[in-house]
Every structure is written in C-alpha cells, then in structure tokens.
Chain A
C-alpha cells in the first residue's frame, strides 16, 4: 500500500532526492521531500509533472513498438496489399489491370470453390470435434501426479512438436493402399481391407481428418490438463457429500468448470481447420479427383500454379472474412454465456 500511495506523491527530480530513502520507501516516510526551498520545488515539480503527463501516453507505446512495427510490416502491410491485389489482374511484369470485383466473381463462381468450401468445413468440423473429444479423453486418462504419467504425457505430446512435413510423410507410408501398408497390415489381422485410404475419393478426406486429429488431440489434451488442474476440488467433495454419482460430478462440476477452456480450444481448432493447408498439400494435394480440395490449397493452386494472383488474393480475402466471422461469433457466444 505504501508503495502505491507513495508513487502518487510528487516525485523529486532524479538525483535530487536522498537515494537511500527513495530506494527503500517506508510507511513513515513515503518519499523524502527534496531539500530545496519550497517555492522553487513546487514550480519545478509542476513543470516536470506537466512534461511527464504530456509524454506519459508514449511510454506504453514505446514498449509495444518493436512488436507493433514487426506486426505492421509482416501482417498489416501484406494484408493491405492482399486487399489491393484482390481488385487487380496481377501481372508483375506486364502491369496490373484493375478488374473491380471480377476476381471475387471468378473465385466464387468456380465450381471447385463451392466444393472446396464444403470440404474445408467438413475438414474443420471433423478435425476440431475429433481433436477436442480425443484430447479430453486423453487428458482424463493421463491426469495426475505420478511420474509415469508425466512420461506418457510427454510421449502423447510428440505429434504436436513434430514438423507437419515429417508427419505427412510418415502417414503416407502408414496409409499405403495395399496389404503391405502399415495400417492395412493391422486391418488385415481383423480380416478387413486392404483399404485405399488417400487413393479413394470416398476415403481421402476422412483419412486427412484422421491425421489432423492425431496431430491436434495432444495439444488439446495439454490445455485440458491445465484446465482440469484449476477445477476447485471442494466442488467435487461437496458434490460427493450431496450424493452425486461419478457421472453427475463430471457432468455438473467438471464440464461447466472447463467451459472457458472448451471455448478457446474450439475457437483455435476451428480457425486451424479453416486454414488447413500443409497436411492436405503434402498428403494428397487436393486429389484424388479434387476430393480433398480445400480453400487454402485451391488458393495456392490458383495463385502459384495458374498464376492468377488476383483471384487467389480474392479467395484469401473471403477466407479472412470467414475466419473473422467465426472468431466474432464465438466471442459473442461467450459473452452471452458469461452474462447468463
């Protein structure tokens, strides 16, 4: 307290106050008065207070400036450039041509675009739901203090820290579509298969979702573990005293306590799902027969394979609006939930 009240007192100009006192303020002597005539001191402090007030707003900005500058250069400016590009037929060496909303029309009227949107949504929903469910299950299984659990948790977390390129390569081998493939060997033991997995237009998207879940679940698990640790133990005890069954305790104590965690996980996973690129690009590149074409891969192909950078920029803007909408929707929903 003394520190707080002390800091509101007029401070002596630097170097004028007794250093020992300034360094160790006490309750009895909050901040020493400067040993100068009273009139002169008050005028001096007024000026410095004025100066400080005038510059005070700058201080927080100075602290965030490095981050802001980087953000501006690497995020805001490219974004602005992307918006601009989306209205042009971009031809870096022939001169750009203004086409108005033409790119948006071309992007959205491609028959592939609608298909890609649906497939992106399926991929996002599937991966999100799967990762959250599996992550939660894992979290409950490995929650605790024992040392071996720590080891299990670390092992389970490995998919998250592994580079997607490696993950894709490994899964491609596991998904190999004949009897010699790893997964098909397992399936063969129970008399199923061989399944084509990534080679079939009917199974490819599901196979990509499975890789997404495998990779995303441990991340969700970690956040759930952190969430579970914050649940008040007293609530469990009182519930138990009141005769609540294990399942009711889970339903009425654990789940409500984890609501903020679930919300944030849902948001993060949904955004990750909408922007999926690497796994699809490396596993199937949108194939076979466009069955795994998602928005990001389509944008990549439009821009860098077909050289239609403007159309690709328009597609990116649409995706940007979609992700912003999802974020806002979740925020609104969360606010309402809190009010309730």
Chain B
C-alpha cells in the first residue's frame, strides 16, 4: 500500500511537472463546449462542496494537505440543501467555482446546463486506481465521463435498539416486520414517557431536491420496480407504474395514511435536516439513511441507543438506494489546478483524510480508491463492514446517467408528495406520473417510440 502511494505521488508529481512545463491545454479536459484556456488564471481555486455541520472541517483538511503540497490556495464554500440552486445562480452570473463536490445524481443537470467539463480518464492521474464500478455514476448514457467519483454509499436501516428491547420486538426481516415494528413504535409508547409522541418511520417527504422519491426508491426497487426500461439504441420508456411500482407506493402510502399513521407527522415538508433531528430527538424509531449518519447520530443524545442493520428485503428482493458523490470540473479559468485537486482528492492520502480525519464527519463514506478500505480505516467500528457489505450486495443506483435525472426525480417527487398529502389513489397517481416521465424523456431526447 505504501508502495502504491509512493508510486502515485511520483506519477502525480510527474504529471504536474508536465502540465506546468508544457503550459498546454493537454492536461485539462476540454469538453468541447467553449474553449479551454491554455493556462490557468491567477487567484485562489474556488471549490464548492455540498456539506454541513462538521463536514466542512474534513474537506478543509484535504484542501490544506493539497495546498501544502502544491502551493495552490483554495477558497472554499459550503452549503447543504440549497446547493444546486446557489450553483445555478452562480452560473447565471457567470461566476462558477472551479471545482464542485456534489451528488452523482446531479450529473445530468450540470451537463444539461453546460457548466461541467468532460473528463478524459486517460489523462487523469490515479484514474486507474479507482474501482471500475465507481465510474458508472460519473458518465452519461453514451458512456462519456463527466465527473470523477469521490465516495460511494448505500442506505442502511437505523433502528432504535432500546425501543425494540422495551417492546420485546426483534429486528425487522421483511416488509411486514417493518410495518409491524413501525406500528408498535407509534402506538406502544416505546420511550415510556406516557405520551403518544413517537412514530415508526422517519421520512424526508418534501419535494425539495426530490427527497420523497429519492427515499421511496429503496422500497420501489425492493418490490422489483424500475423507473425505466431500456428499449435499445439509447431510448427508454418509463415503467414506474408497473405492478411492483404500484405495490410499493401503496405500501408506502399506507405508512402515512393507514391507521395508525406511522410516519412522523411533519414528514411532507421535511428535508433530511429535519428527519435527522427527528431520529436524534427520539421522535422516530426507524430511518433509512446512509453511513454518513453514523457520525451525525453519534454526536447526539441517541448515541448508543440505536443499531444499524441491512435494509429488510421486499417482495422483489434485497435492494437499497446506492449513491455516489462526484467531483465535477467546472467551466472556468483554472482547469489545470482544478484537475490537480481532483487528482489529489482520489489519492489514498486524501481518501483516508476524508474517512477518518474528522471523526464527526465522514465525507468519504466508502472510498472509491481500491487501495483504501473503509472497514480497516474505521477499525473500531464494525458498522463500516456492514456498510461495505450492503453496498456490494444490495446497492442500487438511481438512473443518474439519464440526460437529466434530477428533472425526472423532481417530477416523481411532486407526484408522490401530492398523492400522499391527499391520501389519494396511488395507482392512478403512478399512471399519471408514468405519462409525465415519458413526456420528460421525450423532451430529453431519449424516449422510445
């Protein structure tokens, strides 16, 4: 491992030397949209990352290490829920950052806006060290790469161990178990305070950033559903209203609208900021979320009271939402320095910093660099072994390669939020949504037929 790191440092140094020496655009990855400046403009490298709480500290640790190595200064910016809206505003003002760290799901959105550069993997130092699978959510339908993977993860089920014990329940193994536990958590006063103020399931049900459909996707896939069917030639049809889709939405809606209502009552306006708080403050007992929440939860009163398990399989098998975090090289005046930072961020050193430097923030969840191992980096915490295992066995990505997945996800979210708010006919809602998705596919130029 040390040898790999040393070899990589040499490679990086040589690559950097060639870049600086040749002063040609060769080192940058021109996307073909607009020219790529031959040399970088002066000034600090502007880097935006979607992060909150202690995560900025972890990013800063990586930036500091980079600045120390290269002398390139970094002007960081961090925000969470309104990240993409701020970025769109920056684009409208022609004042983009040079590099952005954000969800892989934004790939199509950014590409449609023309604000990211294509990545030439052949000219990216260290590209060969990344897990081949990690590149899947960094490319478009044609296989062209538009981002560099930085971290990956899959959702797990966080569940209140103390509540289970108090009520004499065991960990859920099936959907029926999940329903039963959710009902028990809602009606049987699991915290023993004599008040009916607890709920079974924690759901960010807001349409903001498409949260509700993002969350529901796990159940959708567990039932055996898929958003789109590949019709060949890069064309697709929406299949969200397939029988498994309908089954999963009916089940999900039942959580909100059945008797008892087992989802936290503020859900339909909640984003993950609120749902994290609901789990931390003992309002909810089950929460599907990523391993980054270990740190978030351990920093609160719920530490030690919950356990993390693999999401119980649904009628269509064991699936869970997998996601990547990507590094995007933005259109801007400092392409070479931006790429150098990206190259550094996928090194063993930076990936390790991102995993363990700040214990309360794991900005690298599961590393993309094959020479790094999450389980061994977090030796004292075997939950990371589980995170790795679940990612490998059950992880299912959103169709982020579509020309603009966020637009499709937003439409899905609006539909789900609307039907659940009314406790309306979920089958009819999915039929409507399917038509809407097909219309959007047509607008994005990938509709079959």
Contacts and interface: CB of A to CB of B under 8 A. Distances in A.
Given A90-B92, A93-B33, A201-B421, A177 B265 contact: yes
A287 B33 contact: no
A303 B195 CA distance: 44
A93 B91 contact: yes
Given A178-B197, A199-B268, A305-B410, A289 B92 contact: no
What's the dominant secondary structure at chain A's contact region? loop
Interface string B97-118: 0000000000001001111000
A94 B197 CA distance: 52
Interface string A83-125: 0000000111110000000000000000000000000000000
A177 B266 contact: yes
B269 A288 contact: yes
Interface residues of A, number: 32
What's the dominant secondary structure at chain B's contact region? helix
A199 B113 contact: no
A291 interface: yes
Contact of A92 (B91, B207, B419, B420): B91
A224 interface: no
B356 interface: no
Given A90-B92, A177-B266, A289 B410 contact: no
B410 A306 contact: yes
A108 to B, nearest CB: 18
B94 A287 contact: no
A143 B239 CA distance: 65
- Of B92, B109, B267, the most chain A CB neighbours within 10 A belong to B92
Given A178-B197, A307-B109, A307-B112, A196 B417 contact: no
Interface in A166-192: 172, 176-180
A158 B205 CA distance: 33
B114 A94 contact: yes
B269 A199 contact: yes
Contact of B265 (A199, A201, A283): A199
Given A91-B113, A93-B91, A93-B331, A200 B421 contact: yes
Contacts of A304: 85, 88-89
A289 B33 CA distance: 38
A327 interface: no
- Of B85, B88, B112, B269, the most chain A CB neighbours within 10 A belong to B269
A293 to B, nearest CB: 10
A94 B266 CA distance: 41
Contacts of B419: 289
Interface string A282-294: 0111111111000
A289 B206 contact: no
B386 interface: no
Contact of B421 (A92, A176, A288): A288
Nearest to A180: B197
Interface in A146-177: 172, 176-177
A200 to B, nearest CB: 7
A314 interface: no
* Range for the number of chain B residues in contact with chain A: 35 or more
B199 to A, nearest CB: 8
A40 to B, nearest CB: 62
Given A94-B33, A304-B89, A285 B266 contact: no
A93 B266 contact: no
B266 A199 contact: yes
Contacts of B206: 285, 287
Contacts of B91: 92-93
A287 B268 contact: yes
A309 B115 CA distance: 15
B19 interface: no
Contacts of A177: 265-266
Contacts of B265: 176-178, 196, 199
B414 interface: yes
Contact of B407 (A200, A284, A306): A306
Contact of B268 (A172, A283, A288): A288
B84 A288 contact: no
Nearest to B331: A93
Contacts of B421: 199-201, 287-289, 291
Contacts of B85: 300, 304-305
A201 B34 contact: no
A162 B371 CA distance: 53
Contacts of B196: 178-179
B208 interface: yes
B15 interface: no
Interface of A: 90-94, 172, 176-180, 196, 198-201, 283-291, 300, 303-307, 309
Interface of B: 33-34, 84-85, 88-89, 91-94, 96, 109, 112-115, 195-197, 205-208, 265-269, 331, 407, 410, 414, 417-422
Given A199-B268, A306-B407, A307-B109, 8 more contacts: A176-B266, A179-B197, A180-B197, A199-B267, A285-B269, A288-B205, A306-B410, A307-B88
